[in-house]
């Protein structure tokens, strides 16, 4: 599997992976906002978001009808639809594409649910590898606490309750997510994941994320001809900083 750069695409794809509750979605959102503020051509896509299959997935989850194989095929259909309709066209147009989860989510989750590894990978054999994949490695207790800070209980499939690992959803979550973590770590060298300590504060992680992206990708090549206007918060920040600089110059003079 080649990267998009190796396949001669003008654009670049950056993916984030991690356990549920690892904080990866927060990090890629902050990265997107920063790139937009810098005037970069950027597009965001997330796992299981294709309009083609979203409603079917939602109904299947609510009724607990999805077998591991069905789950795997639905997610592969979702990815293929987004890959063909959104990711590839924008990469050909010279965008930086950010993905909250990529094929590695299927490689880890579906295999943990019992699907044959070669079969799962075969379903995604059409896809190029990201130009940069960041894996946010958080302790299981940290991930669990972050999820429960946002909502009162775990979701059925998120906790792996369909696998009957434990009657206790919290214990099931730790077993299920622990096995997924093992799958991620096993493929980290193969796909050259950059592992980030997701137990660290959000701000510290974001500094690392921005530096990685800046070091791996020449962002100047992806600037918009007409930059987007800055968000109001950033405009106010810059308006505040500039007068302070003028005052310092006056004092020096």
Residue 65: pLDDT band by 50, 70, 90 thresholds? confident
Provide CB contacts within 8 A for 222, sequence distance 6+: 11, 12, 40, 41, 42, 94, 95, 96
Judged against a pLDDT cut of 90, whether residue 208 lies above it is answered with: yes
Neighbours of 211 (CB within 10 A): 10
For the chain, give every domain's residue range.
Answer: 12-252
**H or E segment and range at residue 69:** helix 68-82
* pLDDT number for residue 52: 83
Per the CB < 8 A criterion, the answer to whether 40 and 166 are in contact is no
Whole-number pLDDT of residue 58? 79
pLDDT of residue 231: 57
Confidence bin at 229 (pLDDT 50/70/90) = low
Would you state the pLDDT for residue 215? Answer: 97
Q: Kindly state the percentage of the chain with pLDDT values over 70.
A: 89
pLDDT tier at 29, thresholds 50, 70, 90 = very high
The neighbouring-strand residues paired with 99 are: 15, 45
| E-only strand ranges, 129-220 | 132-137, 194-197
- 73-131 pLDDT per residue, tens: 999 999 999 999 999 999 999 999 999 999 999 999 999 999 999 999 999 999 999 99
pLDDT reported for residue 64: 75
3-state secondary structure of 147: helix
Question: Is the per-residue pLDDT at 236 higher than 60?
Answer: no
Asked if pLDDT for residue 233 goes beyond 90, the answer is no
Closest CA to 132 of 227, 53, 35: 35
* Per-residue model confidence (pLDDT) at position 252: 38
Dist. CA 249–CA 37, nearest whole Å: 27
- For 12-252, give the CATH class: alpha beta
Q: What is the dihedral of CA 28, 33, 36, 42, to 10 degrees?
A: 20
């Amino acid at each position: 599997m080649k990267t998009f750069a190796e396949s001669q695409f003008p654009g670049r794809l950056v993916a984030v992976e991690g356990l549920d509750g690892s904080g990866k979605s927060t990090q890629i959102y902050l990265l997107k906002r920063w790139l937009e503020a810098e005037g970069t051509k950027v597009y965001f896509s997330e796992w299981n978001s294709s309009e083609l299959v979203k409603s079917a997935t939602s109904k299947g989850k609510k009724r607990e009808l999805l077998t591991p194989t069905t789950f795997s095929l639905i997610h592969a259909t979702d990815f293929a639809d987004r890959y063909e309709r959104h990711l590839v066209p924008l990469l050909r147009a010279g965008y930086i594409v950010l993905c909250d989860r990529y094929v590695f989510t299927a490689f880890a989750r579906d295999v943990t649910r019992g699907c044959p590894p070669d079969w799962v990978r075969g379903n995604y054999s059409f896809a190029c590898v990201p130009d940069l994949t960041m894996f946010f490695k958080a302790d299981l207790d940290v991930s669990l606490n972050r999820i429960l800070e946002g909502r009162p209980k775990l979701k059925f499939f998120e906790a792996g309750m369909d696998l009957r690992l434990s009657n206790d959803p919290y214990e099931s979550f730790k077993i299920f997510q622990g096995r997924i973590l093992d799958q991620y770590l096993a493929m980290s060298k193969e796909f050259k994941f950059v592992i980030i300590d997701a137990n660290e504060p959000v701000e510290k992680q974001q500094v690392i994320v921005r530096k990685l992206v800046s070091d791996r990708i020449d962002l100047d090549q992806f600037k918009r001809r007409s930059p987007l206007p800055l968000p109001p918060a950033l405009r106010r920040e810059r308006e505040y900083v500039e007068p302070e600089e003028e005052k310092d110059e006056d004092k020096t003079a």
